[in-house]
Structure 1
Amino acid sequence: MGDPNEHVVEELESHSETLGLDDFVRIVEKHHRTDGPGVERELLADYVEQVYFDVDLSAVEDRLTDSEEWTAGDQLYAVGENRISAYPASWHESISDSGDVRKVIEVIQSSVTEPEGDAREAVTDEGVPEEKVLRVAETVAGTSREDARAGIEELRKDGEIEEFASQHRNPRLRLA
């Protein structure tokens, strides 16, 4: 498991004003990769102890689901014995450490069957926000943000994704 990484603590603290519980879990999961999907509860608790701001770790239980598939709402996922993830187990099984951005888009696009999240984050019929693709690629597919961006650019160049012309810097991506 290991001790909290100072780099991860700094990353968490740099977002302290806007950091929700799901983002806290996602950041630890992304930067403190261990064997298996998600993050161990004990390690998450260790990070809660390290940051200077309050984190209500008891709220994990209220938001935790054992569903292996994406479910609507602000969920955290049980992805193994004493492991928690910001993403469902089926996503880990499909794209874990693949680095395949096309597969990331495909999994999100097929799993999220109704709009969810705020307007900037919502997965809709128009596609998956690029920022969400990048976060899932980093956290689950195990690729760097730069490599994920390069993968998206390659998909654009090859005509494998559609984007709507009226979109802003966080365009929605949909497989063609």
Structure 2
Amino acid sequence: MATVDDDVLVEAASLGGNLGAVGLVALLERAHEADAPGVSRAVVDAYVSELGDSMDADALRSEVGERLTNSPRWVTEGALYEVANGRVSRFPREWHDELDAGSGLVAFVRVLGADRDGEGVPLELLVAAAATLGGRGEAETRDAVESLTADGVLARADESVRVAESS
């Protein structure tokens, strides 16, 4: 059985019914060092088993399966992605392949935006992807977005971000 981190378990349990499958996978991806994209299904299952007292474990397992897609590209906010054999992520394989800690924030906006048909990248999605795929902190990412927007590199509209047309 996979090892469960007590601090992560407490955080997940505190969210209770508000956590859901996507939230659980997102939490586990940020919390567990990975030698491959995503988090193993065994790790997800270990947490679901431990969380059984605070939520419906069978429903959570079922939700993981229902939301899982093998698409290498972005499908929707509520999807989970099969990114490697037995590994699942909140983000598609293509994003894992193209982005990492060395990728600049503009690269994140370009890659994420390529799958969004010109709609721009929701700021919260950008912050989550930068944390999971790039190891960036939330405040660091938000500050960088503000700075790059002030410099004319990024453009903001409502709660979305895109690369400025002049860039």
- What TM-score results when the alignment is normalised by the length of structure 2? 0.85
SS at match of 1:15: helix
Aligned twin of 1:29: 29
Structure-to-structure mapping, 1:20-99, within 5 angstroms: 20-51=20-51, 52-55=54-57, 56-72=60-76, 74-98=78-102
Runs of 4+ in 1 over 3 A off after TM superposition: none
* Residues 8, 32 of structure 1: 8 Å contact kept: no
Matches within 5 A, 1:1-176: 3-51=3-51, 52-55=54-57, 56-72=60-76, 74-98=78-102, 100-113=104-117, 125=119, 127-164=120-157, 167=158, 171-176=159-164
User: Following the alignment from structure 1 to structure 2, what is the Cα–Cα distance between the partners of residues 5 and 128?
Assistant: 32
Structure 2 CA distance for aligned equivalents of residues 82 and 154 of structure 1 = 39
The alignment's C-alpha RMSD in Å is 2.0
Q: How many residues align?
A: 160
**Contact kept? 2:80, 2:91, Cα under 8 Å:** yes
Preserved contact between residue 66 and residue 78 of structure 1 (Cα < 8 Å): yes
The residue type equivalent to 1:173 in the other structure is: V
Give aligned-pair identity as a percent: 29
* TM-fit CA distance, 1:42: 0.4
* Residue type of the alignment partner of 1:53: M
Preserved contact between residue 101 and residue 133 of structure 2 (Cα < 8 Å): yes
**Structure 1 gaps, min length 5:** 114-123
Question: If each structure's helix is expressed as a fraction of its own residues, which one has the higher value?
Answer: 2
**Quick check: 1:162–1:173 contact (8 Å CA) kept in 2?**
yes
Distance 2:136 2:17 in 1: 27
| Structure-2 separation of matches of 1:59 and 1:162 | 36
Deviation sequence 1:143-162 (CA, Å, 0-9, x none): 22232223212212321111
Q: Which runs of 5+ in 2 are unaligned?
A: none
Per-residue deviation, 1:135: 0.7
How far apart are 1:47 and its partner, in Å?
A: 0.9
CA 1:99 to 1:6, structure 2 compared with 1: closer, same or farther past 3 Å? farther
